[in-house]
A and B are shown apart, each in its own frame.
Chain A
Protein backbone atom coordinates (compact mmCIF):
# COMPACT_ATOMS: atom_id res chain seq x y z
CA UNK A 1 0.00 0.00 0.00
CA UNK A 2 1.25 3.48 -0.83
CA UNK A 3 2.28 5.45 2.23
CA UNK A 4 2.38 9.21 2.28
CA UNK A 5 4.31 9.73 5.47
CA UNK A 6 7.88 9.41 6.63
CA UNK A 7 9.40 7.62 9.58
CA UNK A 8 9.58 10.72 11.81
CA UNK A 9 5.86 11.36 11.42
CA UNK A 10 4.98 7.69 11.89
CA UNK A 11 7.14 7.41 15.00
CA UNK A 12 5.64 10.58 16.50
CA UNK A 13 2.12 9.38 15.74
CA UNK A 14 2.69 5.95 17.27
CA UNK A 15 4.26 7.35 20.46
CA UNK A 16 1.44 9.86 20.86
CA UNK A 17 -1.29 7.23 20.40
CA UNK A 18 0.44 4.88 22.83
CA UNK A 19 0.72 7.54 25.52
CA UNK A 20 -2.87 8.65 25.15
CA UNK A 21 -4.59 5.29 24.82
CA UNK A 22 -2.25 2.68 26.24
CA UNK A 23 -2.26 0.71 22.98
CA UNK A 24 1.11 -1.04 22.74
CA UNK A 25 3.69 0.52 20.42
CA UNK A 26 4.56 -2.93 19.08
CA UNK A 27 0.93 -3.47 18.03
CA UNK A 28 0.85 -0.16 16.17
CA UNK A 29 4.22 -0.80 14.52
CA UNK A 30 3.09 -4.23 13.42
CA UNK A 31 -0.06 -2.72 11.92
CA UNK A 32 1.96 0.06 10.24
CA UNK A 33 4.25 -2.48 8.57
CA UNK A 34 1.43 -3.69 6.36
CA UNK A 35 -1.14 -0.91 6.40
CA UNK A 36 -1.59 2.81 6.27
CA UNK A 37 -0.84 3.72 9.87
CA UNK A 38 -3.38 6.53 10.09
CA UNK A 39 -6.21 4.09 9.38
CA UNK A 40 -6.07 3.14 13.04
CA UNK A 41 -7.96 6.34 13.79
CA UNK A 42 -10.60 5.70 11.14
CA UNK A 43 -10.89 1.98 11.80
CA UNK A 44 -9.62 1.36 15.32
CA UNK A 45 -11.20 -2.09 15.50
CA UNK A 46 -8.54 -3.35 13.11
CA UNK A 47 -6.02 -3.30 15.95
CA UNK A 48 -8.40 -4.90 18.41
CA UNK A 49 -8.40 -2.28 21.18
CA UNK A 50 -10.18 -2.83 24.48
CA UNK A 51 -13.31 -0.83 25.27
CA UNK A 52 -11.45 1.96 27.06
CA UNK A 53 -8.85 2.28 24.30
CA UNK A 54 -11.59 2.39 21.67
CA UNK A 55 -13.39 5.16 23.55
CA UNK A 56 -10.15 7.17 23.78
CA UNK A 57 -9.57 6.86 20.04
CA UNK A 58 -13.10 8.11 19.36
CA UNK A 59 -12.55 11.12 21.63
CA UNK A 60 -9.17 11.80 20.03
CA UNK A 61 -10.80 11.66 16.58
CA UNK A 62 -13.40 14.19 17.62
CA UNK A 63 -10.75 16.46 19.08
CA UNK A 64 -8.72 16.31 15.84
CA UNK A 65 -11.82 17.32 13.85
CA UNK A 66 -12.39 20.38 16.05
CA UNK A 67 -8.69 21.23 16.01
CA UNK A 68 -8.78 21.32 12.20
CA UNK A 69 -11.91 23.43 12.23
CA UNK A 70 -10.35 25.93 14.64
CA UNK A 71 -7.23 26.14 12.50
CA UNK A 72 -9.41 26.83 9.47
CA UNK A 73 -11.25 29.56 11.36
CA UNK A 74 -8.02 31.07 12.69
CA UNK A 75 -6.44 31.15 9.24
CA UNK A 76 -9.36 33.09 7.84
CA UNK A 77 -10.78 36.01 9.71
CA UNK A 78 -14.03 35.21 8.03
CA UNK A 79 -14.64 31.74 6.74
CA UNK A 80 -15.56 32.08 3.07
CA UNK A 81 -16.97 28.94 1.54
CA UNK A 82 -16.44 29.88 -2.09
CA UNK A 83 -15.60 26.51 -3.57
CA UNK A 84 -16.52 22.88 -3.16
CA UNK A 85 -12.98 22.21 -1.92
CA UNK A 86 -13.19 24.71 0.95
CA UNK A 87 -16.74 23.59 1.77
CA UNK A 88 -15.66 19.94 1.70
CA UNK A 89 -12.77 20.57 4.07
CA UNK A 90 -14.99 22.62 6.34
CA UNK A 91 -17.67 19.96 6.70
CA UNK A 92 -15.09 17.14 6.87
CA UNK A 93 -13.65 18.87 9.92
CA UNK A 94 -17.11 19.01 11.51
CA UNK A 95 -18.38 15.57 10.56
CA UNK A 96 -15.26 13.52 9.87
CA UNK A 97 -14.86 11.93 13.28
CA UNK A 98 -18.46 10.77 13.72
CA UNK A 99 -18.91 7.04 13.37
CA UNK A 100 -21.88 6.18 15.54
CA UNK A 101 -24.60 8.49 14.24
CA UNK A 102 -25.77 10.50 11.30
CA UNK A 103 -25.74 14.27 11.37
CA UNK A 104 -27.32 16.56 8.81
CA UNK A 105 -26.05 20.14 8.73
CA UNK A 106 -26.56 23.28 6.69
CA UNK A 107 -24.42 26.38 6.35
CA UNK A 108 -26.20 29.61 5.44
CA UNK A 109 -24.16 32.04 3.36
CA UNK A 110 -24.40 35.70 2.47
CA UNK A 111 -23.83 37.18 -0.99
CA UNK A 112 -20.05 36.92 -0.53
CA UNK A 113 -20.28 33.24 0.49
CA UNK A 114 -19.37 34.16 4.06
CA UNK A 115 -20.90 31.88 6.63
CA UNK A 116 -23.77 33.53 8.48
CA UNK A 117 -24.54 30.45 10.49
CA UNK A 118 -23.96 26.70 10.47
CA UNK A 119 -26.56 24.52 12.16
CA UNK A 120 -27.26 20.88 12.82
CA UNK A 121 -30.72 19.89 11.59
CA UNK A 122 -30.73 16.24 12.38
CA UNK A 123 -28.74 14.00 14.61
CA UNK A 124 -29.69 10.44 15.32
CA UNK A 125 -28.65 6.84 15.53
CA UNK A 126 -27.69 5.17 12.30
CA UNK A 127 -30.83 4.85 10.18
CA UNK A 128 -32.96 6.90 12.58
CA UNK A 129 -32.09 10.48 11.66
CA UNK A 130 -34.69 12.57 9.88
CA UNK A 131 -34.56 15.99 8.22
CA UNK A 132 -37.39 18.50 8.58
CA UNK A 133 -37.39 20.85 5.56
CA UNK A 134 -39.55 23.38 7.43
CA UNK A 135 -36.83 23.85 10.04
CA UNK A 136 -34.22 24.52 7.37
CA UNK A 137 -36.57 26.92 5.61
CA UNK A 138 -37.27 28.81 8.84
CA UNK A 139 -33.56 29.09 9.69
CA UNK A 140 -32.74 30.28 6.15
CA UNK A 141 -35.40 32.99 6.28
CA UNK A 142 -34.41 34.03 9.80
CA UNK A 143 -30.80 34.72 8.82
CA UNK A 144 -31.65 36.23 5.43
CA UNK A 145 -29.13 34.09 3.54
CA UNK A 146 -28.70 34.03 -0.22
CA UNK A 147 -27.35 30.51 -0.50
CA UNK A 148 -27.10 27.27 1.42
CA UNK A 149 -24.67 24.38 1.67
CA UNK A 150 -25.95 21.00 2.82
CA UNK A 151 -23.82 18.31 4.41
CA UNK A 152 -24.20 15.03 6.20
CA UNK A 153 -22.03 12.10 7.13
CA UNK A 154 -22.16 8.45 6.13
CA UNK A 155 -21.10 6.47 9.19
CA UNK A 156 -20.74 3.36 7.01
CA UNK A 157 -17.66 4.78 5.30
CA UNK A 158 -18.86 5.25 1.71
CA UNK A 159 -18.63 8.73 0.26
CA UNK A 160 -20.86 7.90 -2.66
CA UNK A 161 -24.26 9.66 -2.57
CA UNK A 162 -27.25 7.36 -2.39
CA UNK A 163 -30.34 7.85 -4.52
CA UNK A 164 -32.00 9.18 -1.38
CA UNK A 165 -29.23 11.78 -0.95
CA UNK A 166 -30.07 13.13 -4.39
CA UNK A 167 -33.79 13.09 -3.54
CA UNK A 168 -33.20 15.12 -0.38
CA UNK A 169 -31.07 17.59 -2.33
CA UNK A 170 -33.67 17.94 -5.07
CA UNK A 171 -36.47 18.50 -2.57
CA UNK A 172 -34.57 21.24 -0.75
CA UNK A 173 -33.51 22.87 -4.04
CA UNK A 174 -37.17 22.86 -5.09
CA UNK A 175 -38.24 24.50 -1.81
CA UNK A 176 -35.63 27.27 -2.02
CA UNK A 177 -35.59 27.99 -5.77
CA UNK A 178 -38.78 30.14 -5.76
CA UNK A 179 -37.25 32.20 -2.93
CA UNK A 180 -34.09 32.94 -4.94
CA UNK A 181 -32.00 31.02 -2.42
CA UNK A 182 -29.49 28.71 -4.09
CA UNK A 183 -28.54 25.35 -2.68
CA UNK A 184 -24.94 25.34 -3.88
CA UNK A 185 -23.70 21.93 -2.88
CA UNK A 186 -24.36 18.85 -0.83
CA UNK A 187 -21.21 17.55 0.85
CA UNK A 188 -21.10 13.95 1.97
CA UNK A 189 -18.49 13.09 4.55
CA UNK A 190 -17.21 9.63 5.33
CA UNK A 191 -14.25 9.16 7.62
CA UNK A 192 -12.20 12.29 7.00
CA UNK A 193 -12.94 12.39 3.29
CA UNK A 194 -15.66 14.27 1.48
CA UNK A 195 -17.65 14.10 -1.72
CA UNK A 196 -19.05 17.22 -3.35
CA UNK A 197 -22.24 16.57 -5.27
CA UNK A 198 -21.88 19.85 -7.18
CA UNK A 199 -18.33 19.04 -8.24
CA UNK A 200 -18.76 15.38 -9.09
CA UNK A 201 -22.16 14.80 -10.62
CA UNK A 202 -23.84 18.19 -10.54
CA UNK A 203 -26.74 19.41 -8.45
CA UNK A 204 -30.27 18.29 -9.34
CA UNK A 205 -32.64 20.69 -11.05
CA UNK A 206 -35.59 22.04 -9.04
CA UNK A 207 -38.78 20.11 -9.43
CA UNK A 208 -42.31 21.55 -9.56
CA UNK A 209 -43.43 19.27 -6.75
CA UNK A 210 -42.53 20.98 -3.51
CA UNK A 211 -42.96 18.89 -0.39
CA UNK A 212 -42.27 19.84 3.21
CA UNK A 213 -42.72 16.31 4.57
CA UNK A 214 -40.08 14.95 6.89
CA UNK A 215 -37.23 13.20 5.07
CA UNK A 216 -35.70 10.13 6.72
CA UNK A 217 -31.94 9.77 6.38
CA UNK A 218 -31.12 6.18 5.60
CA UNK A 219 -27.71 6.10 4.10
CA UNK A 220 -26.43 2.82 5.35
CA UNK A 221 -27.22 1.46 1.96
CA UNK A 222 -25.29 3.94 -0.13
CA UNK A 223 -24.69 2.48 -3.57
CA UNK A 224 -21.01 1.99 -2.82
CA UNK A 225 -21.73 0.04 0.32
CA UNK A 226 -23.48 -2.71 -1.55
CA UNK A 227 -20.06 -3.57 -2.81
CA UNK A 228 -17.88 -2.47 0.07
CA UNK A 229 -17.60 -4.11 3.44
CA UNK A 230 -18.98 -1.96 6.26
CA UNK A 231 -15.52 -1.51 7.71
CA UNK A 232 -13.73 -1.30 4.38
CA UNK A 233 -11.32 1.57 3.90
CA UNK A 234 -12.40 3.89 1.11
CA UNK A 235 -8.75 4.60 0.40
CA UNK A 236 -8.50 0.99 -0.77
CA UNK A 237 -10.60 1.99 -3.76
CA UNK A 238 -9.15 3.95 -6.59
CA UNK A 239 -11.14 6.25 -8.83
CA UNK A 240 -11.73 3.51 -11.39
CA UNK A 241 -13.39 1.40 -8.69
CA UNK A 242 -15.61 4.30 -7.78
CA UNK A 243 -16.42 5.03 -11.40
CA UNK A 244 -17.83 1.55 -11.58
CA UNK A 245 -20.76 2.77 -9.52
CA UNK A 246 -21.62 5.19 -12.34
CA UNK A 247 -22.05 8.14 -10.05
CA UNK A 248 -18.63 9.71 -10.04
CA UNK A 249 -17.08 11.25 -13.06
CA UNK A 250 -13.34 11.67 -13.37
CA UNK A 251 -12.20 14.67 -11.39
CA UNK A 252 -10.57 16.67 -14.15
CA UNK A 253 -12.18 20.02 -13.49
CA UNK A 254 -10.02 21.40 -10.72
CA UNK A 255 -10.26 24.95 -11.96
CA UNK A 256 -14.01 24.87 -12.28
CA UNK A 257 -15.07 24.11 -8.76
CA UNK A 258 -15.68 27.70 -7.71
CA UNK A 259 -19.32 28.55 -7.36
CA UNK A 260 -20.92 31.26 -9.37
CA UNK A 261 -23.98 32.88 -7.93
Chain B
Protein backbone atom coordinates (compact mmCIF):
# COMPACT_ATOMS: atom_id res chain seq x y z
CA UNK B 1 0.00 0.00 0.00
CA UNK B 2 2.73 2.44 0.99
CA UNK B 3 4.69 1.44 -2.11
CA UNK B 4 1.65 2.12 -4.27
CA UNK B 5 1.09 5.56 -2.70
CA UNK B 6 4.71 6.50 -3.10
CA UNK B 7 4.66 5.41 -6.75
CA UNK B 8 1.57 7.51 -7.39
CA UNK B 9 3.20 10.54 -5.77
CA UNK B 10 6.41 10.00 -7.72
CA UNK B 11 4.40 9.99 -10.94
CA UNK B 12 2.83 13.31 -9.92
CA UNK B 13 6.25 14.83 -9.18
CA UNK B 14 7.37 13.73 -12.62
CA UNK B 15 4.27 15.26 -14.19
CA UNK B 16 4.92 18.52 -12.36
CA UNK B 17 8.54 18.57 -13.54
CA UNK B 18 7.54 17.89 -17.13
CA UNK B 19 5.09 20.81 -17.06
CA UNK B 20 7.86 23.09 -15.82
CA UNK B 21 10.13 21.76 -18.58
CA UNK B 22 7.49 22.71 -21.13
CA UNK B 23 6.89 26.09 -19.51
CA UNK B 24 10.57 26.98 -19.28
CA UNK B 25 11.66 25.28 -22.52
CA UNK B 26 14.65 23.64 -20.87
CA UNK B 27 16.56 20.38 -21.37
CA UNK B 28 15.68 17.10 -19.71
CA UNK B 29 18.65 17.26 -17.29
CA UNK B 30 17.10 20.41 -15.76
CA UNK B 31 13.77 18.57 -15.57
CA UNK B 32 15.48 15.77 -13.68
CA UNK B 33 17.10 18.28 -11.30
CA UNK B 34 13.70 19.86 -10.63
CA UNK B 35 12.14 16.43 -10.18
CA UNK B 36 14.75 15.45 -7.59
CA UNK B 37 14.26 18.73 -5.73
CA UNK B 38 10.50 18.26 -5.67
CA UNK B 39 10.80 14.70 -4.40
CA UNK B 40 13.37 15.59 -1.75
CA UNK B 41 11.70 18.72 -0.40
CA UNK B 42 8.05 18.29 -1.37
CA UNK B 43 6.14 20.73 -3.59
CA UNK B 44 5.90 23.49 -1.01
CA UNK B 45 9.37 22.93 0.45
CA UNK B 46 10.89 23.01 -3.03
CA UNK B 47 9.72 26.55 -3.70
CA UNK B 48 10.69 27.70 -0.21
CA UNK B 49 14.24 26.46 -0.78
CA UNK B 50 14.85 27.41 -4.40
CA UNK B 51 18.08 29.16 -3.47
CA UNK B 52 19.68 25.93 -2.27
CA UNK B 53 19.52 23.87 -5.48
CA UNK B 54 22.18 25.61 -7.56
CA UNK B 55 20.03 26.15 -10.65
CA UNK B 56 21.40 28.32 -13.43
CA UNK B 57 20.34 31.95 -13.18
CA UNK B 58 17.82 31.67 -16.01
CA UNK B 59 16.10 28.58 -14.53
CA UNK B 60 16.22 30.10 -11.06
CA UNK B 61 14.50 33.27 -12.28
CA UNK B 62 11.81 31.24 -14.01
CA UNK B 63 11.21 29.14 -10.90
CA UNK B 64 10.98 32.35 -8.88
CA UNK B 65 8.38 33.59 -11.36
CA UNK B 66 6.32 30.42 -10.75
CA UNK B 67 6.72 31.00 -7.01
CA UNK B 68 5.43 34.54 -7.45
CA UNK B 69 2.33 33.26 -9.24
CA UNK B 70 1.76 30.68 -6.50
CA UNK B 71 2.20 33.30 -3.81
CA UNK B 72 -0.17 35.61 -5.67
CA UNK B 73 -2.78 32.86 -5.62
CA UNK B 74 -2.44 32.42 -1.87
CA UNK B 75 -0.59 29.11 -2.04
CA UNK B 76 1.77 30.28 0.71
CA UNK B 77 4.82 29.21 -1.23
CA UNK B 78 6.81 32.23 -0.21
CA UNK B 79 7.48 33.03 3.44
CA UNK B 80 8.74 36.53 2.73
CA UNK B 81 7.69 38.46 -0.35
CA UNK B 82 10.71 40.77 0.03
CA UNK B 83 12.96 37.87 -0.92
CA UNK B 84 11.29 37.66 -4.30
CA UNK B 85 12.51 40.90 -5.63
CA UNK B 86 16.04 41.69 -6.29
CA UNK B 87 16.92 44.47 -8.72
CA UNK B 88 17.46 43.39 -12.28
CA UNK B 89 16.15 39.85 -11.81
CA UNK B 90 14.09 38.84 -14.78
CA UNK B 91 13.59 35.63 -16.73
CA UNK B 92 13.21 35.48 -20.47
CA UNK B 93 9.69 34.27 -21.19
- The interface-forming segment of A19-27, A183-191, A253-261 is A19-27
Number of interface residues of B (CB under 8 A): 36
Dominant SS at the A interface?
A: helix
In the complex, what distance in Å separates the CA atom of A124 from the CA atom of B44?
32
**Contacts A12-B84, A13-B72 supplied; 14 other A-B pairs, CB < 8 Å:** A8-B81, A9-B72, A14-B72, A16-B66, A20-B23, A20-B91, A38-B73, A64-B69, A66-B15, A67-B75, A70-B42, A71-B42, A78-B5, A116-B4
Q: A22-B93, A74-B43 are in contact. Are A63 and B16 (CB under 8 A)?
A: yes
Chain B residues 36 to 88 lying within 8 A of chain A, measured CB to CB, are 38, 42-44, 61-62, 64-75, 78, 81, 84
State which size class the interface on A falls in: 35 or more
Asked whether A166 is an interface residue with its Cβ less than 8 Å from the other chain, the reply is no
Determine if B22 and A59 form an interchain contact, defined as CB atoms under 8 angstroms apart.
Answer: yes
Closest to A192 in B: B73
Residues from chain A with a CB closer than 8 A to the CB of B73 are 9, 13, 38, 64
What are the 9 closest A-B residue pairs judged by CB atoms, nearest first?
Answer: A13-B72, A16-B68, A22-B93, A16-B69, A19-B65, A70-B43, A63-B19, A12-B72, A66-B16
Residues from chain B with a CB closer than 8 A to the CB of A59 are 19, 22-23
Dominant SS at the B interface?
A: helix
Determine if B71 and A67 form an interchain contact, defined as CB atoms under 8 angstroms apart.
Answer: no
Closest to B68 in A: A16
- Closest chain-B Cβ to A149's Cβ sits at a distance in Å of 16
Q: A5-B74, A22-B93 are in contact. Are A60 and B69 (CB under 8 A)?
A: yes
Determine if A19 and B93 form an interchain contact, defined as CB atoms under 8 angstroms apart.
Answer: yes
In the complex, what distance in Å separates the CA atom of A43 from the CA atom of B61?
26
In the complex, what distance in Å separates the CA atom of A64 from the CA atom of B4?
23
Asked whether A56 is an interface residue with its Cβ less than 8 Å from the other chain, the reply is yes
Residues from chain B with a CB closer than 8 A to the CB of A69 are 12
Select A12's contact among B43, B81, B91, beta carbons within 8 Å.
B81
Asked whether A73 is an interface residue with its Cβ less than 8 Å from the other chain, the reply is yes
Determine if B9 and A70 form an interchain contact, defined as CB atoms under 8 angstroms apart.
Answer: yes
